[in-house]
Amino acid sequence: MRLGHILYGLRPMNLFEILSIRGLVAQSTDSEMRARLATPVTAYIGFDPTADSLHVGSLVPIMGLHWLQECGHKPLVLVGGATGLVGDPSGKSAMRQMLTREQIDANAQAIAAQIGRVVRFGKGPTDAELVNNADWLIGKGWIDLLREVGPHFSVNRMLSMDSVKGRMEAGGISFLEFNYMVMQAYDFLQLFRDRGCTVQMGGQDQWGNIVMGLELGRRSIDADLAGLTFPLVTKADGAKFGKSEAGNIWLSAERTPVFDFYQFWRNSADADVRRFLGFFTIIPMADVDAMTHDGGSTLNQAKEVLAHAVTTLVHGAAAADQARHDARAAFGAAHDVHGDSIPHAPLATAELAAGIPLKALLVKAGLCASNGEAQRLIAGGGVRLHDAAIADAQRSVTPADVLDGCVVVRAGKKRVFRFDVG
């Protein structure tokens, strides 16, 4: 019995129903999408390999792949080895830095490995398959591509797309990026021809690109294609999702330590907990409602469930258990910050001899972006050295401040860093 069937009862759940229940449907090109997804289909989601790690916003489409697989469909994971060389203008106010083929290929391999933590790759009927559009686009002649797809694209239609209109209003779009939607549309056509793929899924900002793809398929070979988008995740307070005081929250432990990843979810706002549990975990929504209904301590426990579940999904159960243990110790009555997952770094005793400005240590720890920010945080009463509040922005840290072989700095109530002195 498949996991999705266990979670949602004895009968197999329709993919559209599961996504809808969990708040994961923003738009659909097909009014009969529920019926379409009642039988197995091949569907794809694309990922842009412009960095060597995905960030937490990418977890929404990754969960889409997970539910595709659990409901008996065939997921295709497309990495844009070719489109990454052009750059998607959707949601961008300026042209991004162009990467080399070698950088794109390395990034594609790295993000495929991250997706593989959540989605099962293999050769079975519901196993995910990794595809790279470089395989069919890199060697395609420009004239050949223009003749094949050019007659099916209206420039007026392309100019009406939000991704293009936004850039036009912001100062213009390059011809390079203007071609992105043509390339993505061609991906859909190619995957239909080669693998019988009939559904494309993606973030809400991909709506225009998806529509252009199914229109190309319909006009060129009368293909019956459909698309579905996931909502763009926002925080209840209007702040950008996936950002912390230290910057982006990445799926890579090298970019975002597991403890910081765990704490990002553990510190979710009350108003976001139910929604995030629906988006980013496989916990049945009946259980989610039960743990978020009463608020108070129950909701606080739900935040810990959320943090542990998502950290397990991305980094594994052992890492999630360690992060939860260390967080409970660091922010509980004991204030013990010696756990392995607590962000830490070595600090030479010689560096302390003459004294190190506390604000410099805060920057070194990544708790503040600059000395000026650190000074303002100290002046505002937001910094503690070990467990002692510090009000003097000119305070220096010396060997006398070493306790149990370390120096611990805290920023606010939720961030901590340990320097191991030796």
Residue identified by tokens 């395609």 is 140
Please give the helix or strand (H or E) that residue 389 lies within, else none.
strand 388-389
Residue 54 to residue 48: CA distance in whole angstroms = 9
Q: What is the dihedral of CA 168, 173, 179, 181, to 10 degrees?
A: -40
- 260's CB contacts (< 8 A; 6+ apart) are 244, 246, 249, 343
pLDDT of residue 371: 92
In words, the CATH class of domain 344-421 is alpha beta
> Closest Cα to residue 411, out of 305, 308, 263?
263
CA 301, distance to chain mean position in Å, is: 23
Q: Where are the domains of the chain?
A: 3-230, 243-331, 344-421
pLDDT of residue 4: 44
pLDDT of residue 246: 66
CATH of domain 3-230: 3.40.50.620
DSSP letter string, 220-267: HH----EEEEEPPPB-TTSPBTTEETTEE-BS-TTTS-HHHHHHHHHT
Q: Please check whether residue 111 is in contact with residue 49, taking contact to mean a CB–CB distance below 8 angstroms.
A: yes
pLDDT of residue 96: 53
> Closest Cα to residue 12, out of 56, 54, 70?
70
DSSP letter string, 84-150: GGT---TT-SSPPPPPPHHHHHHHHHHHHHHHTTTS-BSSSTTSBEEEETHHHHTT--HHHHHHHHG
pLDDT of residue 88: 61
Amino acid identity of residue 323, one-letter, is A
Mean pLDDT, the chain cut into blocks of 10 residues (422 residues total): 42 85 95 94 94 94 96 95 74 59 87 94 94 91 89 86 78 80 93 97 93 94 97 87 81 95 95 97 95 86 97 97 95 88 93 91 92 93 93 92 94 92 90
- Which CATH architecture fits 243-331? Orthogonal Bundle (1.10)
pLDDT of residue 19: 97
pLDDT of residue 1: 30
